[in-house]
Amino acid sequence: MEGYVLSNCVVAVLLAAGAFVLRRAYQSRLWREAGAAVAQRRPASLGVVLIFVVVALLDAVSWVGPAPEGDTFGVQKPRTLIDRAFPVDWNERSYSAPLARAEFYGGQALAHPRRHLLGTDIIGRDVLHLTLKGARVALLVGGLTTLIVIPLALLFGVSAGFRGGRWDDLVFFLISTLAAMPSLLLLIALIAVLGRGPVQVCVALGVTGWVGLSRLARGETLKLRELDYVRAARALGVSEARILFRHILPNLMHLVIITAVLLFSGLVLSEAVLSWLGIGIDGSWGQMPSSPGSASGSMAPGGR
């Protein structure tokens, strides 16, 4: 199966799951009120709508359409709605300022004068187009890595706090060892070993990222384990697994939610640093300032 068909299927599944969750959430009063509270915060809801709905939807589904006019490459590549919004011959030869009529260096006339809203980069790609495309990579980095980090952190943190003893010592040692290595160096080493690529970058970010949450979860579990209602449950003969899932995990959710939110934005910035060093994900926002000779003409180490 073609790669783009597969990714379309994934998008369809995600959409269906999202719609289902939204419908269920709307049926419960608690979530309806929470939704209303979010909607009242205009900048926040605007951001969510912009990123998730507009960019992710418009940029998620791609298909091979009839050859557009001016397609001189002759190669049929699957393109998303956003790609279709920008003509195929949209690229210029070189850097230009926003809405300029001529190239910045040399002053040759542009093919699309005054049409590039944010200008073009040094090899003539439209900056607005790159910016919109980058949102998908940012969502991937943040989302996939968070999906790696949270189960990993909870698995080790909660089990260590709950079981205690040797296992706790071992997990705590593992956490301390990972924390004793400077995170940027560790990231670099992991990516060097795992290889380059979006999934590898997310795994490396996940391995360095789970430590903090795991430590928090362990501490909180230690505290919860001794609380009266947990003891009462134990005295009533509730099984260990049920105590864990009914009494402890739900009380850790505030930590998980806060960490996930902070982690998400932090990860996008970490990816920018990796792109800067030339080991990031293709097409990310981080790659734009470090791409060959961006506006400042500076010499990014990754831009070779």
Partner 1 sequence: MLAYVIRRVLYGGGVVLGVLLFLGVLLFLFLLFFWAVEPEDMALRAIGEKAPPEAIAQWIENHGYDRPLAWNPDDQKDTLLYEHFRSMLTFDFGRSDIDDVEIARRLREGVGPSLSLTVPLLLLGVFFGISLSLFVAYFRDTYIDTVGVTLCVFGMSVSIVIYIIGGQYLIGKLLRWFPISGFDPSPEVMLRFLALPITVALAAGVGESVRFYRTVFLEETNREYVRTARAKGCGDGRVMTRHVLRNSLIPILTQVVMAIPFLFTGSLLLESFFGIPGLGSITVEAIHDNDFSTLRVMVFIGSLAFIVGQILTDLSYALVDPRVRLE
Contact residues for partner 1 (CB under 8 A)? 173-174, 176-178, 180-182, 184-186, 188-194, 269, 272-273, 276-279, 286, 289-290, 294-301, 304
Q: Position 302: which residue type?
A: G
- What distance in Å separates the CA atoms of residue 86 and residue 129, rounded to the nearest whole number? 7
Comparing CB distances to partner 1, the nearer of 188 and 260 is 188
Q: Which of 299, 288, 300 is nearest to 121 (CA)?
A: 288
Tokens of 252: 């850790």
Comparing CB distances to partner 1, the nearer of 103 and 271 is 271
Comparing CB distances to partner 1, the nearer of 31 and 276 is 276
- What distance in Å separates the CA atoms of residue 279 and residue 290, rounded to the nearest whole number? 11
Task: Report the chain's C-alpha Rg in angstroms.
Answer: 24
Comparing CB distances to partner 1, the nearer of 31 and 104 is 104
Q: Which of 297, 1, 242, 283 is nearest to 122 (CA)?
A: 297
Comparing CB distances to partner 1, the nearer of 165 and 250 is 165
Q: Which of 210, 160, 225, 197 is nearest to 284 (CA)?
A: 197
Q: Which of 33, 281, 295 is nearest to 145 (CA)?
A: 281
| DSSP class of 26 | H
Minimum CB–partner distance for residue 299 and partner 1 (Å): 6
Tokens 């509730």 -> residue: 238
Minimum CB–partner distance for residue 48 and partner 1 (Å): 19
Minimum CB–partner distance for residue 256 and partner 1 (Å): 24
- What distance in Å separates the CA atoms of residue 287 and residue 87, rounded to the nearest whole number? 23
Comparing CB distances to partner 1, the nearer of 143 and 303 is 303
Comparing CB distances to partner 1, the nearer of 51 and 186 is 186
| DSSP class of 90 | G
Torsion of CA 272, 275, 277, 279, to 10 degrees: 130
Minimum CB–partner distance for residue 176 and partner 1 (Å): 6
Minimum CB–partner distance for residue 215 and partner 1 (Å): 14
Minimum CB–partner distance for residue 178 and partner 1 (Å): 7
Minimum CB–partner distance for residue 55 and partner 1 (Å): 20
- What distance in Å separates the CA atoms of residue 221 and residue 230, rounded to the nearest whole number? 11
